[in-house]
Amino acid sequence: MAAVAADPAAAAIPASAEEKERQREAMPDLDEQWRQVENGRERPLRAGESWFLVEQHWYKQWKVYVKGGDQDAATFPGCINNAGLFEDQINWHLREGLLEGDDYVLLPATSWNYLVSWYGLEDGQPPIERKVIELSGIRKVELYPIELLLVQHSDMETALTIQFNPTDSLDLVLQTAREQFLVEPQEDTRLWIKNSEGSLDRLCNTQITLLDASLETGQLVIMETRNKDGTWPSAQLCGMNNMPEEDEDFQGQPGICGLTNLGNTCFMNSALQCLSNVPQLTEYFLNNRYLEELNFRNPLGMKGELAEAYADLVKQTWSGYHRSIVPNVFKNKVGHFASQFLGYQQHDSQELLSFLLDGLHEDLNRVKKKEYVELCNGAGRPDMEVAQEAWQNHKRRNDSVIVDTFHGLFKSTLVCPDCGNVSVTFDPFCYLSVPLPVCSRRVLEVFFVPMDPRRKPEQHRVVVPKKGNISDLCVALSTHTSVAPDKMIVADVFSHRFYKLYQLDDPLSGILDRDDIFVYEVTGRIEPVEGSRDDIVVPVYLRERTPSRDFNNSYYGLILFGHPLLVSVPRDRFSWEGLYNILMYRLSRYVTKPTSDEDDGDEKGDEEEEEEGEEEDDNEDSSSDEEKEEIPGPSTNNDVQETEQEQAGPSSGVTRRCPFLLDNSLHTSQWPPRRRRKQLFTLQTVNSNGTSDRTTSPEEVQTQPYIAMDWEPEMKRRYYDEVEAEGYVKHDCVGYMLKKSPVQLQECIKLFTTVETLEKENPWYCSSCKQHQLATKKLDLWMLPEVLIIHLKRFSFSKFSREKLDTLVQFPIRDLDFSEFVIKPKNESTPDMYKYDLIAVSNHYGGMRDGHYTTFACNKDSGQWHYFDDNSVSPVNENQIESKAAYVLFYQRQDVGRRQSKTASSDTPASPASGSATNPEIMDVN
């Protein structure tokens, strides 16, 4: 027990010979004295009990006296005198190096009390009381107590020297300091010690002993008292004051306090504001009940640090002295224990909320040592019995304010599809993640490219089944364009090239909303069919030559531009010149043909060529070899053979034979030195990315089924109209929006309790079949908590897509009735057990990659709703709360709300006792 060194205990001392004589007469006989004192010394030591030191010289005199058997003998020892054990008679410090048996003897409290009552204690001397401690299984009396220097943080000059036993707890040190410095009961305090480096360390766990905390005599212990605005003085000294300067004199409604966005931390602010407005949890921290339940040794917890950081944040928020605070220390604490929240990336408010609830629970778990508990199965027993057993087992390992407030109980029923075996278990939950009814259709925006060169590409918006195929997209587009679905090829175009050419049976889920999808009208297919007379479909890229520097300025780079094309070419007229003419025809809307003045040789009339379109000169087949060599083509020296297989795009996975080099009709040669007419571009075989080497071997040609149109910069400038080439028209369907009907929250809960079949990745092991089965699973609500958190699963993730559902979910502000969903037998006398009122909403605005979180919350004291947008707070009406942004809903059971209202009205207002989220590891006191 703590003792002030300068406060010796008083003792009854005989004042005269007559008085001594009377004392002798009142003493028991000497044999009885010996028995009572010496027998007490022989009993074993017990940890924590008190023993007393008696000076060896006096004790020997006493032994001589009692052994002599003569009460009148001159050997009477007189008053107990321990003067030889003290270093001085001012502070009464024991001399160093005292040895038991040589300098003193130890007496238990009973023996000591007998001696003092018989002989008294020398005037002014304090009794020398010491405690029994146990170290490594060995019990001993700790002779020298630990003397600590206690000071206040606000007055480091005035120190009190207080003695403590090594087995005393730090909580006793704290309570002693509060008593000595006259701290009011409602004020928060904490302790620091000065370490060997001169800085100060927090004494977080006050339940441990001085010995465990390694405190030594002469150590400085500082008591810090929280400021009225909820901050700690140490936070200000460490440069972590969370209160802006302009708020120093501010005084407002407690709880109406913003949180500064530290950089993409709106998700954290939203979750904290929701949790802060749960009345029973906030009162738990404001009233310091958490201090008694901090669990510093839970291996699943955060050593109490997360709970302390959250408590400081709540106290500071509810102090009423801040417009907004900066939660930087709390964020750092979260990132320290959950690395996924390190840095300043955007995260999910529900994910943080889940971590925070679990972390607070483990930090405040009243169960200090978790026992092993076996899972209980129904095994045909009544549900009530199994549920009660499951809940008791849960509470044997998990007992905290979080469990009291947020935990409920599921009934989970699994049925084996083969043997019909039924497994019933009851599992605890902390929140409900309910699905939203998903529309089976989706809207895709595509560009339709007709074959008619006079028509511009058309932008369409088509409705397709979410789980459909590419063929469904073609059928839907056919109703808008009157083009048969089998005359369409769908492609994903990215960076002027074909990223992917889709097959008809490819799933639509592979198309993301951000993809640029082009649908081309064709008269054939890309896949060659042997013996087929269908036209050949040729993928064509547009490239521009750009001079690039090298040692002789002879190298030309090639840059892709414009939209690629899929061009249909008749098989019997496929040649380099035929392809050139067809491309001139397909590009005629935005490519100007040279005038007759620009021609440098005989050619067919322009009018005839325009009328014939993609038809070639009838005499082409009978032209001489020399004329054939004048046809524009790639630079190689051998005839082109049939190509091998190659991929159609970087991620397509579509492998096929070359669709246009099926015979020897494309003879390759050098670009002709003499042309029949001016050529606007040259043609080159390329790979699927639109790149190729300057010298192309026959082997490489055979693996390149794509064609590139290479333009000289001057020719492109004169004859290629970029504005017209990029032009398109919007079809009437572009204005169509898929209407989404609002959904009732009760529909989501009903969907949550619907029977479903387990996925292949997550089968269930049937104890009857002895193998894993895709069982049917049904979740039912058995017991609901005081505060029910409902997470609306707006974010959908699949192998090919990620999307956010912006469906409007209509949820009641008051009287949300769960009686139809709870299957536990109901007590008709307590209907409020199933009715809930809304107290907070976490909102998410935006899409998957970006977004912003805010909060609607009802103040527990005023009942007024407020909108929290980071550090901005404003009052709102209830009709503003429901929106498509609602993401996480907090409901409080009505009977709990009424109970809290009665408690609040009966309690007298107390001065704010609040805290900050500042938990620095080191405090500077200089």
| Interhelix angle 266-276/328-337, nearest 10 degrees | 100
Q: 436, exposed or middle or buried, with CB in 10 Å at 0-12, 13-18, 19+?
A: middle
Helix, strand or coil for residue 588?
coil
Known catalytic membership, residue 153:
no
Identify which of 924, 926, 798, 711 has the alpha carbon closest to the alpha carbon of residue 202: 924
Q: Give the helix/strand (H/E) hosting 233.
A: helix 233-237
What is the Cα–Cα distance from 799 to 157, expressed in whole angstroms?
Answer: 67
Cβ neighbours of 894 (radius 10 Å): 18
Structure tokens at 468: 């459909």
Distance CA 880, CA 791 (A): 20
HSE toward the beta carbon, residue 150, CA cutoff 13 A: 25
Q: Give the CA-trace dihedral at 446, 451, 454, 460, to 10 degrees.
A: -20
DSSP state of 248: T
Catalytic position from the list 394, 563, 731, 852: 852
CA distance 425 to 428: 10
Contact by Cβ (8 Å): 918, 325: no
Amino acid at 244: P
Cα 668–672–674 angle (5° rounding)? 155
Here the tokens at position 291 are 């201090």
Residue 257 falls in the annotated catalytic set: no
* Nearest Cα residue to 661 out of 705, 698, 610, 617: 705
Cα–Cα distance between 231 and 241 in angstroms, integer?
Answer: 7
DSSP string, 35-92: HHHHHHHTSPP-TT-EEEEEEHHHHHHHHHHHHH--TTSTT---SB--GGGBS-SSS-
865, β-bridge pairs: 858
User: Which token pair is 92?
Assistant: 């009464």
CA dist., res. 536 & res. 519, Å (int): 17
| Active-site residue, selected from the candidate residues 257, 266, 733, 766 | 266
Measure the CA–CA gap between 661 and 640, rounded to whole angstroms.
Answer: 7
The strand pairing partners of 820, in sequence order, are none
DSSP class of residue 100? Answer: B
Q: Which helix (H) or strand (E) holds 659?
A: none
Active site residues: 266, 852
